[in-house]
Structure 1
Amino acid sequence: MTSIQQRGIERIWTVEHRQNSPIHIAGMVLDPNKMKESDPFLFLAEDWFKKGTFDFHPHRGIETVTYVIEGKLEHQDNKAGKGELEPGDVQWMTAGRGVIHIEDPAEEETVHSLQLWVNLPREHKMAEPRYQNLRAKDMPVRKEDGALIRIFSGSSGGIQSDTKNYVPVTMVEINVEPGAMVTQDLPGDYNGFMYILEGKGLFGKNQTEAEKGHVLLLEKAETGQASEISIKSVENLRVLLYAGRPLNEPIVARGPFVMNTEEEIRQAYRDYMAGKFAE
């Protein structure tokens, strides 16, 4: 029987937030200057914002994964797509070859959200755009003694989400009562990290202590081997865990576009200016 590799915590840091405008506070959970370290994830931003913060804007070559912590977030795109996300909901948007959209809080609302950018592999950079609205109430859940894991993508303890991925990604919301412990299984070749939304706990094989506002980068495991990360709650814990298979491809990022070469970036801007994102 193959042993399961226990993962530890490689590094911990605290998110620093700053006031970008009177209606927008933001912090980088994952630093966009360290994209190689977090591959296939490009960055993760935490935002508090009111209506009017963001205008319509384009994307190409990525997926955006938006998790709403507080408030109601309205979404519109240039192809008559429209929707609303409630607290605990996720929207998984595949920009692919091109999307122009806006995410705006409802009137009088302040939205607190996390938005992750997932890189698309070379062969799917120009995929047809799509949206997956992942309602918290509809997601599969895994229940253990004192723990509930909501599975937005990938699997946990043999329970599988049917969310479609171009890059294999596990995204789970882990809720653990004080004194309880749970483990999350991951393929050995996945890069991963956790962000603590509430509480305090002990993480990984060395029981590293961390609390609300901390980001925990998981130690790498061996490709081809099963791995897991243990989580023990000291105070009521709510943690988001993201992990995915690295692409190991060139990354060229300019503004809202992420491609593999400079020429592809230039082409993205030409296509956008020529109105081809609306086709």
Structure 2
Amino acid sequence: MTVQRRIRCIKTVQITTNSPIHKSGPILDPGNWQEHDPFLFLMEDIFQRGTFDFHPHRGIETVTYVIDGQLEHFDNKAGHGTLGPGDVQWMTAGRGVIHKEDPAPGSTVHSLQLWINLPSTKKMTEPRYQNLKSEEMPVRQEKGAVIRVFSGSSQGVKASTLNHVPVTMVEMTLEPGASVVQDLPGSYNGFLYILEGSGKFGVDGTEGKKGQALFLSRHDKDEESELIVSANEKLRVLLYAGEPVNEPIVAYGPFVMNTTEEIHQAIRDYQEGKFAE
């Protein structure tokens, strides 16, 4: 049986100025662990060079989507790349990474950074970096619609992206009046974020527009599900959906583990230079 997803709530993102070179707005607030599982946090940032310095992570993956600008990435595990509009970097911090993301000189970057929880069996996995260029991603085409698959699949079109936690991430671009159906396992928890335009979403035709996050209804793990997306005007929207980890979470800054002792260990390891090993 295939169930139809609906939109259970909507959040309008508020962008605030943090400094002369940085504006941001939370899409997923940290702390709502069960609500967003397996996702931990999602921030929309508009920033210039020098906003972020080198910093560590453990126990998570970060997924950065570039809306506009040129973003450079460096880390202490030999990961390096430059991303342009529509590109994604998928970084597995695992047991420890120290990295920095900086706009190219003279560029202002508009981006989304998502944190994905890792299960306890993968918290200390080896770090990994995947550079997902927009033009290299598999594409599903329908009448008036292009669905770019960064992770997971869309009606049989599959990405080769490596996942520790099953995640579907697709970018949908629809012409006015076009509609598409996205398939998802019923167990996946997920949401949409509208980058451009407006449309109707889910079985109830819930209206959404640029700058809004739309959270999907949740269903049984044994069900298959579908999500209907229709464009009122030209629409560009990201869908993130994934398998909940369903484990205890203890977070401290850039470290996300299962227990307080594991957080203390992460801090000690970082202070003792073990993230560089």
Corresponding residue of 1:148: 146
> Which residue type is aligned with residue 59 of structure 2?
G
Equivalent of residue 28 in structure 1, options 26, 29, 52: 26
> Which residue type is aligned with residue 72 of structure 1?
Q
Q: Hey, what's the Cα distance between the residues in 1 that align with 2:208 and 2:153?
A: 24
Corresponding residue of 2:246: 248
Q: Hey, what's the Cα distance between the residues in 2 that align with 1:222 and 1:6?
A: 12
Q: Hey, what's the Cα distance between the residues in 2 that align with 1:236 and 1:73?
A: 26
SS in 2 for 1:126: coil
CA offsets 1:165-221 (integer angstroms, 9 cap, x no match):
000000000111101110110000000000000001010010001110110000012
Q: TM-score, normalised by structure 1?
A: 0.98
Equivalent of residue 194 in structure 1, options 188, 192, 195: 192
Corresponding residue of 1:205: 203
> Which residue type is aligned with residue 222 of structure 1?
D
CA offsets 1:49-77 (integer angstroms, 9 cap, x no match):
00000000000000000000000000111
Answering whether residue 265 of structure 2 is matched by residue 267 of structure 1, we say: yes
SS in 1 for 2:31: helix
Q: Following superposition, which runs of at least 4 residues in structure 1 exceed 3 angstroms of deviation?
A: none
Q: Hey, what's the Cα distance between the residues in 2 that align with 1:79 and 1:161?
A: 24
Answering whether residue 216 of structure 2 is matched by residue 218 of structure 1, we say: yes
- What is the percentage of aligned positions where both structures have the same residue? 66
Q: Please, which moves more after superposition, 29-38 or 133-142?
A: 29-38
SS in 1 for 2:203: coil
Q: Hey, what's the Cα distance between the residues in 2 that align with 1:123 and 1:223?
A: 21
Corresponding residue of 2:176: 178
Corresponding residue of 2:80: 82
Contact 2:48-2:109 at 8 Å conserved across structures: yes
> Which residue type is aligned with residue 203 of structure 1?
F
SS in 2 for 1:128: coil
Corresponding residue of 1:43: 41
Q: Hey, what's the Cα distance between the residues in 2 that align with 1:129 and 1:80?
A: 10
Structure 1 residue 29, shift from structure 2 partner: 0.7
> Which residue type is aligned with residue 26 of structure 1?
S
SS in 1 for 2:220: coil
Corresponding residue of 1:258: 256
Q: Hey, what's the Cα distance between the residues in 1 that align with 2:199 and 2:220?
A: 25
Q: Hey, what's the Cα distance between the residues in 2 that align with 1:146 and 1:196?
A: 17
> Which residue type is aligned with residue 140 of structure 2?
R
Corresponding residue of 1:5: 3
SS in 2 for 1:108: coil
> Which residue type is aligned with residue 56 of structure 1?
F
Contact 2:77-2:127 at 8 Å conserved across structures: no
Unmatched 5+ stretches in structure 2: none
SS in 2 for 1:249: coil
Q: Hey, what's the Cα distance between the residues in 2 that align with 1:80 and 1:132?
A: 12
Q: TM-score, normalised by structure 2?
A: 0.99
CA offsets 1:101-134 (integer angstroms, 9 cap, x no match):
1000001110000000000000000000010000
SS in 2 for 1:79: coil
Corresponding residue of 2:56: 58
Q: Hey, what's the Cα distance between the residues in 1 that align with 2:86 and 2:208?
A: 22
Corresponding residue of 1:121: 119
Structure 1 residue 78, shift from structure 2 partner: 1.7
Corresponding residue of 2:156: 158
Equivalent of residue 227 in structure 2, options 229, 245, 265: 229
Q: Hey, what's the Cα distance between the residues in 2 that align with 1:222 and 1:189?
A: 6
Q: Hey, what's the Cα distance between the residues in 2 that align with 1:114 and 1:181?
A: 25
